[in-house]
């Protein structure tokens, strides 16, 4: 009887694991309003909401929940391009914006910024990666991109680390400056 119980557990375990798997969204290239940027976002991403910052920059936001994970996108089209700024200055601006988001998302812990990410197609663009946690223990992986005209943030938030690392990488690196 003991062996039968062990065999039953071993036979049922793979099916129990499959039933708990997180859905993997299909990503598609999506234009972000009239921001001049696009990103590879989940196929059913809601329309972007447009608002304006105090300095008249266009701010586009959208988020979709897939199972227990939120995929979010924030795009900023600067009111005036930073034509005299070099990539390192733009990276500093991006970090300032990410610091602002930490407050808005009520982040209580962070791994620390991973700087120096670049794009082959946009040599002046810079990216910054970080991992955050809020007071409710929600886990965030956040990557921001910036050039002289636009800034973008992509994030995945959920109750634990996102289980599909390759999809996470595709999503976070899916930002495109047009």
Distance CA 152, CA 90 (A): 12
Mean pLDDT for all residues in the chain? 90
What confidence tier does 7 reach under pLDDT thresholds 50, 70, 90? very low
Evaluate if residue 4 carries a pLDDT over 70.
no
The pTM for the full model equals 0.86
Domains of the chain: 24-177 (3.40.1000.10)
What Å distances lie between residue 129 and 23, 76, 165, CA to CA? 24, 17, 14
């Amino acid at each position: 009887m003991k062996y039968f119980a062990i065999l039953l557990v071993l036979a049922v375990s793979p099916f129990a694991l499959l039933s708990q798997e997180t859905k993997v969204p299909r990503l598609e290239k999506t234009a972000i309003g009239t921001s001049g940027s696009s990103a590879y976002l989940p196929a059913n991403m809601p329309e972007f909401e447009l608002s304006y910052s105090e300095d008249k920059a266009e701010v586009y936001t959208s988020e979709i929940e897939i199972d227990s994970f939120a995929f979010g996108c924030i795009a900023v089209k600067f009111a005036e391009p930073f034509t005299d700024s070099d990539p390192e200055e733009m990276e500093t601006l991006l970090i300032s914006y990410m610091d602002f988001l930490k407050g808005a998302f009520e982040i209580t812990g962070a791994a620390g910024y991973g700087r120096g990410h670049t794009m082959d197609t946009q040599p002046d663009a810079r990216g910054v990666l970080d991992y955050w946690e809020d007071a409710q223990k929600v886990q965030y992986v956040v990557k921001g991109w910036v050039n002289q005209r636009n800034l973008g943030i992509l994030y995945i938030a959920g109750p634990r680390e996102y289980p599909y690392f390759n999809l996470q990488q595709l999503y976070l690196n899916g930002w495109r400056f047009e």
